[in-house]
Amino acid sequence: MLSKARVNAAGSELELHWADGAQARFHAMWLRDNALDDKTRSAGNGQRLVTILDIPAATKISAAEIVGGTLRVTFTPENKSVTFPADWLHNHRYDRKPSDAIAWTSPAITRWTGADMQANVPRARLSDMQQNRDTLAHWLGAVERYGFAVVEGVPTTSGALCDIVKTFGYVRETNYGRWFEVKAEVNPSNLAYTNLGLQAHTDNPYRDPVPTLQILSCLENTVDGGESTVVDAFAVVAALQAENPKAVELLSGFPARYEYAGSNGVRLRAKRPMIELGPDGELLAIRFNNRSAAPTEDVPFEAMASWYEAYRRLAELIEDKRFEVSFKLAPGEAFIVDNTRILHARTAFSGHGSRWLQGCYADKDGLLSTLASLVETQSPKAAE
C-alpha cells in the first residue's frame, strides 16, 4: 500500500513511500516507458506497442495521485494518465544501492558442497514428471536451484533421453546429433568415447552459445568404475573468491579460448572467459575443460603467470573432494546438469562389462520458462 507520492525535480522524478516503510524514486521517463495501459502494452500478449522514440524526450510528470491500491500518474506533454498497482511499483523499484561485489549469485541459486547434497540428490521418476505438474515443477525447481537432478525410470531404449527434454523444452541439435553415444571406441573422435577418466568439466566450451543443459542417460553399466560426479562450480568460484579475489578477477577479466576439431568438417572455436560475469558482477557461467582449452592468447604477458596461478588454484579447488557429489548411474537412470554452472566428471573404468550412456543437449531458457509457468499456475497445496 502506498502512503505518499511526491513529484520532484520539476516533474522529472517521483518519490514514493509505502506503508511497509519502503521508499523509492522513479524517473518520469521510466514510468512512461513502462506504462501498463493497453495503448502502451498489448492487452493480449503483453508486448510493448510503442518505441522509445514514440515517447517525447521532454516527458515529465504533471500529477501523481494515490487511488486505493494504485498510483495514477499524468504525463506531459502527452497529457496521458496511466495507473500502476502499488505492488507492481514496489516489485520493480530500482532506487537501491547496487552490489559492488563480483561473482555474486542470484537468490534463485543455492550453492552447495558434497556434504550438502550427497544425501539429498534431487530425483524424480520420468513417468511422474510426465503426468504430475507438481512433480515436474519440483524437479525443474531443483535444476534451477541446485543445477542438477537425477531422473529414474527412463526407458533403456535408444534416444529415450529426449523424452526428459520434452517435459520442459527442446533438444539442442549439434554436430554430435540430436543425441549421441558415450561408449568406449577404438579410434575415438572425442576422449569422452574412451575408458579414460575425465576431469570435472563443462561440455562444449568451444561452442558459442554453449548448450546450457546436458543430459546423460544410462543404458548399460556393468564395468568397474565409471562413476559420475558433479561439482557446483559456483560454490568453487565463491571459495576461490573468498581466499583470493584477484584470482576471480583474472579468470573473469580475460577471455580464454576453446577449440574442437576432432571430426571431419568440424572446426569449433570460441573465445570466452573461464568465469563469466555480467556487467553487474553476477556470476553467469563457467567454462572449464582441459581437453578443449586452446592456447590462451588474450592475457597480456605481464598477467599471464598470475592467470595460470589462478587457473591452477581453480582446478585444485574443483578436484577438492569436499565439493563433489558422486553416484553410479544404473540402467534407466539419467542426470541433468546446468552446463553453465555444474561440472561433471567420470572415473576411469575397466573390466569385462559394458558402459553405454547416451547424451543430449538442451537449453535453460525453455526449462526456466516452463518452471515459471508451472509455478504461476501451481496448485495451492504444492506451492506451500
Q: Give the C-alpha separation, 315 to 294, whole Å.
A: 16
The minimum distance between CB 116 and its own copies, in angstroms, equals 25
The answer to whether the beta carbons of residues 211 and 359 sit under 8 Å apart is no
- CB nearer its own copies, residue 243 or residue 365: 365
Kindly state the cell numbers that stand for 308. Answer: 595460470
Distance in Å, CB of 290 to its own copies, minimum: 4
CB 101, min distance to its own copies, A: 14
Cα–Cα–Cα angle for 367, 135, 107, nearest 5°? 55
Q: Which of 16/150 has CB closer to its own copies?
A: 16
- Of 66, 57, 112, the closest CA to residue 89 belongs to 66
What single letter denotes the amino acid at residue 286? I
User: How far is Cα of residue 164 from the mean position of the Cα atoms in its chain?
Assistant: 18
C-beta of 219 vs 268, nearer to its own copies: 268
Distances in whole angstroms, Cα of residue 345 to Cα of each of 124, 157, 302? 22, 24, 33
Question: CB 56 → its own copies: shortest distance, Å?
Answer: 10
Report the nearest approach of its own copies to the CB of residue 111 (Å): 19
Minimum separation from the CB atom of position 51 to its own copies (A): 4
Minimum CB–partner distance for residue 286 and its own copies (Å): 14
Which CB sits closer to its own copies, 1 or 266? 266
What is the C-alpha separation between 305 and 237, in angstroms, rounded?
A: 19
What is the spatial distance between Cα 193 and Cα 213, in angstroms, rounded to a whole number? 20
Burial 119-145 (b: 16+ CB within 10 A, else e): eebbebbbebbeeeeebbbbbbbbbbe
- Residue 63's nearest CA partner among 85, 41, 78 is 78
Between 121 and 284, CB nearer to its own copies: 284
CB-wise, 33 or 220, nearer to its own copies?
Answer: 33
- What is the rounded CA–CA span in Å between residue 298 and residue 273? 10
State which residue, 47 or 79, has the beta carbon closest to its own copies.
Answer: 47
